[in-house]
C-alpha cells in the first residue's frame, strides 16, 4: 500500500522489516523490494549485495540470477560474474552455449584489464581462454593474435587468425593478418592468399584479396575479385575499392568519381551495432556504452533511414536524439524495432 501510494520511504521500512524475518518467502520478498528500490535510486553497490542475498535464498529464481549478473557486470565484478554464469547454466536458466559465450566475453574483458595493469601473461591467458570458450568470437581472436605477436609468437598468432577465418571471415581478422605480415605489399598479398584459401568463396575473402592486390598494384587480380562481389548492388566499401582500382590502374578520374558517387548511396558498411538500442561503435565492447546491456553488439549493416516521417522530423527539431550518428556519415541510425 505504501509503495502504491508513492511513499517509498515507508515502503522501504516495510521491506527492511520483511527481510529480517526468518520465513524464507517473506524474507525473499523483503530483499526483492529493497533490491528494486536500490536499483531505481542508482545505488549499485547496495543493489549488488541485496541481489547476492536474494540469489542465495532462492538460487533457482532466474530473474534474481539475471539481475545479479547484470549488477556484477556493471560494477566490473568479473570473477563473481563468471561464477554466476556457471550457476545459471547448472540451474538451466541459460543454455550451455550461451554460458560459454558469456564466460568468453568476461575473459576478454579480464584480458583488457590485465593488459592495462601491465600483467601481460595474465592478459594473454585470459584471451586464450576467451577463444577456447567461443572460437567464433572475432574480437577475442584478434586480441589473442595481437598479444601472441607482442610476445614473439607470430606463427601461433597467424594460426589463430586462420582458424577464426574458417569459422567466420571478418574484416577485422583480415586487418589482424595484415599486422602480422612481415615485409611489403607482395608479402601481405601472399598472406591474404593463404588466409582466403581457408574460406575461398566467402565475400570477405574476395575483398581481402582485392585490398591486398590493390596495395601490390596487381590490378587484374584486384578487378577479378571485385567483379565477383560488386554485382548490381555493391556495398559502400566495395564501391570505394572499385574507385581506387579505376584510379590506380587506368588513371580514369571520371570512372573513379562515378564509383565514389555510388559509394555515397550504396548499402552502408557493416559495423558493431547494439541490438538493444542501436548504438554504433568502431570497436566491439563487452557492455554497451549507451544502454549498458551486456554483449549486445552485432556485426551488421546499419539500417538506413531513407525518409523521415513528420512525427520523427518534429522529434528531431525539438532536439530529441532518435539514434546515433555514424562517424563520417550524416545519416542517423534508428534503434532496431521489435521483430526487425
pLDDT of residue 281: 93
Bridge partner list, 325? 332
Q: What angle do CA 14, 18, 24 make, to 5 degrees?
A: 160
pLDDT of residue 314: 45
The span from the CA of 255 to the CA of 77, in Å, is 55
Bridge partner list, 300? 271
pLDDT of residue 102: 98
DSSP string, 252-294: -HHHHHHHHHHHHHSBPPPEEEETTT--EESS--SB-TTT--B
- Mean pLDDT over each residue of the chain, to the nearest integer: 84
With contact defined as beta carbons under 8 Å apart, do 333 and 323 qualify?
yes
pLDDT of residue 338: 35
Between the alpha carbon of residue 79 and those of residues 133, 285, 287, the distances in Å are: 16, 18, 16
Bridge partner list, 267? 235
With contact defined as beta carbons under 8 Å apart, do 242 and 257 qualify?
no
With contact defined as beta carbons under 8 Å apart, do 239 and 263 qualify?
yes
pTM for the model: 0.78
pLDDT in tens, 186-224: 999 999 999 999 999 999 999 999 999 999 999 999 999
pLDDT of residue 177: 97
Do you know the residue count of the chain?
Answer: 340
Q: Please report which helix (H) or strand (E) contains residue 299, including its range.
A: strand 297-300
Choose among 210, 235, 232, 212: nearest CA to 223: 210
The span from the CA of 337 to the CA of 317, in Å, is 22
The span from the CA of 19 to the CA of 254, in Å, is 75
With contact defined as beta carbons under 8 Å apart, do 57 and 28 qualify?
yes
Choose among 309, 229, 287: nearest CA to 109: 287
pLDDT in tens, 52-62: 766 666 666 77
pLDDT of residue 61: 73
Give the residue ranges of the chain where pLDDT is below 70: 2-3, 5-7, 10-14, 16-19, 21-22, 24, 26-34, 36-41, 43, 49, 51, 53-60, 304-340
Question: Which residues, other chains included, contact 47 with Cβ-Cβ below 8 Å and sequence gap of 6+?
Answer: 35, 38, 39, 71
Choose among 103, 159, 169: nearest CA to 138: 169
Bridge partner list, 287? 294
pLDDT of residue 323: 42
The span from the CA of 306 to the CA of 265, in Å, is 10
pLDDT of residue 31: 61
pLDDT of residue 233: 82
Angle of helix 236-250 relative to helix 219-230, nearest 10 degrees, comes to: 150
Amino acid at each position: 500500500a505504501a509503495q502504491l501510494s508513492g511513499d517509498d520511504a515507508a515502503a522501504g521500512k516495510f521491506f527492511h522489516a520483511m527481510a529480517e524475518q526468518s520465513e524464507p518467502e517473506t524474507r525473499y520478498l523483503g530483499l526483492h523490494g529493497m533490491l528494486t528500490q536500490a536499483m531505481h535510486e542508482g545505488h549499485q553497490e547496495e543493489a549488488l549485495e541485496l541481489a547476492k542475498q536474494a540469489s542465495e535464498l532462492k538460487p533457482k529464481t532466474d530473474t534474481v540470477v539475471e539481475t545479479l549478473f547484470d549488477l556484477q557486470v556493471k560494477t566490473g565484478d568479473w570473477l563473481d560474474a563468471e561464477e554466476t554464469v556457471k550457476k545459471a547454466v547448472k540451474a538451466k536458466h541459460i543454455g550451455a552455449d550461451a554460458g560459454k559465450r558469456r564466460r568468453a566475453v568476461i575473459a576478454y574483458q579480464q584480458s583488457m584489464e590485465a593488459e592495462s595493469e601491465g600483467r601481460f601473461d595474465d592478459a594473454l591467458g585470459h584471451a586464450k581462454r576467451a577463444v577456447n570458450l567461443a572460437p567464433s568470437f572475432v574480437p577475442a581472436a584478434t586480441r589473442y593474435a595481437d598479444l601472441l605477436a607482442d610476445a614473439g609468437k607470430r606463427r601461433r598468432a597467424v594460426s589463430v587468425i586462420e582458424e577464426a577465418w574458417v569459422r567466420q571471415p571478418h574484416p577485422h581478422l583480415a586487418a589482424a593478418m595484415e599486422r602480422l605480415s612481415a615485409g611489403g605489399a607482395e608479402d601481405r598479398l601472399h598472406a591474404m592468399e593463404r588466409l582466403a584459401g581457408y574460406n575461398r568463396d566467402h565475400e570477405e575473402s574476395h575483398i581481402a584479396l582485392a585490398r591486398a592486390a590493390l596495395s601490390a598494384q596487381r590490378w587484374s587480380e584486384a578487378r577479378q575479385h571485385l567483379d565477383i562481389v560488386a554485382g548490381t548492388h555493391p556495398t559502400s566499401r566495395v564501391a570505394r575499392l572499385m574507385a581506387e582500382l579505376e584510379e590506380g590502374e587506368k588513371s580514369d578520374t571520371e570512372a573513379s568519381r562515378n564509383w565514389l558517387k555510388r559509394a555515397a548511396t550504396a548499402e552502408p558498411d557493416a559495423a558493431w551495432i547494439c541490438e538493444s538500442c542501436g548504438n554504433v561503435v568502431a570497436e566491439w565492447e563487452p557492455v554497451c556504452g549507451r544502454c549498458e546491456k551486456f554483449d549486445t553488439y552485432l556485426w551488421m549493416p546499419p539500417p538506413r533511414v531513407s525518409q523521415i516521417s513528420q512525427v520523427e522530423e518534429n522529434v528531431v527539431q525539438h532536439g530529441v536524439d532518435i539514434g546515433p550518428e555514424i562517424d563520417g556519415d550524416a545519416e542517423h541510425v534508428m534503434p532496431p524495432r521489435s521483430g526487425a
